[in-house]
Amino acid sequence: MCTNVLLTGGRAPATLELARMFGKQGHEVHVADSFSYSISRYSKYVTFHEIRSPRQDESQYIEDLNNIIDENGISLLVPTCEEIFYIAKHKDVFPSSCVVFTEEIEVLETLHRKDRFIQLVKQLGYAAPETHSVSDVRGWESFFQKRKKEEWVAKPVYSRFSNGTCFSADFPEAVERLKRGVPYVIQALVKGKQYCTYSISVDGELLAHTQYEALHRGKGGASVAFKHEERRELERWVRSFVRKMRFTGSIAFDFILTEEGGWLPIECNPRVTSGIHLFRGCFLPGLFSQEKERVFPCKEGFMISALCLWNEGKRILTLNQKMPPYPKGYKDIFFDQEDPGPFLYQGISLYGWRREAKRLGVSITEASTYDIQWDGEGQ
C-alpha cells in the first residue's frame, strides 16, 4: 500500500537517500525545509516545500507542516535532522491520521544532550568514559587545576561537527562560551578507533542496524565515506540499549573501540544519519509504517566523492601518511542513474550554503544546521 509521506530536513544527503527509497517503491514523497537550495528538491521523486525555520519561528514552522499534511493527505511524517526535536515537542498537534515517526521530546533531549546521555548509559548498566559537566568559568578552572595533567576532551553539551571541541584546558573559545552560559562536558580522552552506528527501532525491537569505522572525515569531523563492518558485539550493545528504552525511531551512536578491545559510547544522535546510505536498495520504508521485518545493510561502500577527492589531494600534497587513502570502489551518495538531478545540481546547493554562511558570518558546516539546530530550546 502506497503512502503519502512527508520528510523534513531536505538539505541532508541522508534525507535524499530516504526520499529515493520511498519514491522508488511508489510512495508520493513530499520534502519540507527552510533552506531553499536543499539537495532533495532536485530529485524527480520529490515535491519540495520551502517553509519557515523551526529555530527562528517555531510556531509557524509547525503550522507550515500541518498545512502540508492537510493539503496533501500525508499519512506519515519522518523528521530526519535536528528539526526532529521541534516536531517531537509538538507531536500532539499533528492530526491523528498522520503517524509521526519519532520518540517523545523528553527521550530525545536526554539522548541528544551529551552529559545526560552518559548519565543514562551508566544508569542502564553500561560502561562509559569518565565524564564531568561544568556550567561556568569557575567550574572549568577548578576542574583543570585538579586534573590538568590527565588527557581530556571537552565539548559543549549541545554541539555538532566537533564545533567547540578542545583537547586542552587552555582554550579561549570554551571560556567565552561558558561566559555566555553554554555548558560543557569534559570527558576522559579514550585512545582507539571511532565507530558510528545507525539503527531503526520500533517499540524497542531493532529492525535495521549498521556500523562503520569513522576513518574518512570532513573538516568538521563528520564521516564522508561509509562501509558496513560486521561487529556483532556492537550490534548486541545497541539492541540491548533500544530494548531497555523501548525506543521508536532512528538512533545513532558514536563509539570508541579501545586499545584493550572494549566499546565505550561517547555520544548519541537520535535521528537519521549517514548510515542510512548503507541500506540503499533495501525495503527500508516499510519499517516506518506497516512492515516490521528485519532489514540488513548492503555490502557496498558509499562516499561523498568531492570531499574524499579533496582529502586525497591534501594527503598527496602534504605527504601525510596518517591520512587514509581515497576509498576505491565506493559509490557516490548523490549519483543515481534513475535520478540524476541531485548529482548534477550539488554545486548549486553548495553555492547556497556558501552564500548562507557568508550572510551569517559562520562556517559552511555551522550554517548547514543554523536554522534547525536544537540546543535545549524551552527545556
Q: What pLDDT, on the 0 to 100 scale, is given for residue 323? A: 84
Q: Which three cell numbers stand for residue 299?
A: 555490502
Please, which pLDDT band fits residue 211 given cuts at 50, 70 and 90?
A: very high
Q: Give percent of the chain above pLDDT 90.
A: 77
pLDDT at 83 over 70: yes
* Max intra-chain CA distance, the chain: 62
Question: Cβ neighbours of residue 272 under 8 Å, at least 6 residues apart?
Answer: 9, 12, 14, 15, 18, 78, 80, 81, 198, 250
Cα–Cα distance measured from residue 126 to residue 255, given in angstroms and rounded to the nearest whole number: 12
pLDDT at 1: 66
| Cα distance between residue 29 and residue 11, in whole Å | 15
Looking at per-residue pLDDT, the higher value among 70 and 147 belongs to 70
pLDDT at 256 over 70: yes
Q: Give the model's confidence band at 378: pLDDT under 50 very low, under 70 low, under 90 confident, else very high.
A: low
C-alpha span between 197 and 69 (Å, rounded): 31
* pLDDT for res 220: 62
Task: Find the mean pLDDT for residues 74-92.
Answer: 97
**Given a cut of 70, is residue 68 above it in pLDDT?**
yes
Q: 86 and 374 in contact (C-beta within 8 Å)?
A: yes
How do residues 303-318 score in pLDDT, each as one tens digit?
Answer: 999 999 988 898 888 8
CA atoms within 13 A on the CB side of 252: 20
Give pTM, 2 decimals. 0.94
In the predicted structure, residue 356 carries a pLDDT above the cut 90: yes
- Are the C-beta atoms of 37 and 12 separated by less than 8 Å? no
Is the predicted pLDDT of residue 286 greater than 80, yes or no? no
Q: Are 241 and 233 in contact (CB under 8 A)?
A: no
Q: What domains, with CATH codes, occur in the chain?
A: 130-188 (3.30.1490.20), 193-321 (3.30.470.20)
Above 80 in pLDDT, residue 292?
no
What average pLDDT does the segment 306-332 reach? 88
* pLDDT band, residue 238 (cuts 50/70/90): very high
Tell me what the mean pLDDT of segment 47-52 comes to: 98
Is the per-residue pLDDT at 76 higher than 80? Answer: yes
Answer left, alpha or beta for residue 93, where phi above 0 means left and psi between -120 and 50 means alpha. Answer: alpha
Using one digit for the tens of pLDDT, what is the confidence trace for 107-164? 999 999 999 999 999 999 999 999 999 999 999 999 988 887 788 999 999 988 878 8
Three-state DSSP at 281 gives coil
Mean pLDDT is lowest, of 40-49, 189-198, 224-233, 370-379, for 370-379
- Cell numbers found for residue 345: 545540481
How high is the mean pLDDT of the chain? 93
- Separation CA 315–CA 111 (nearest Å): 36
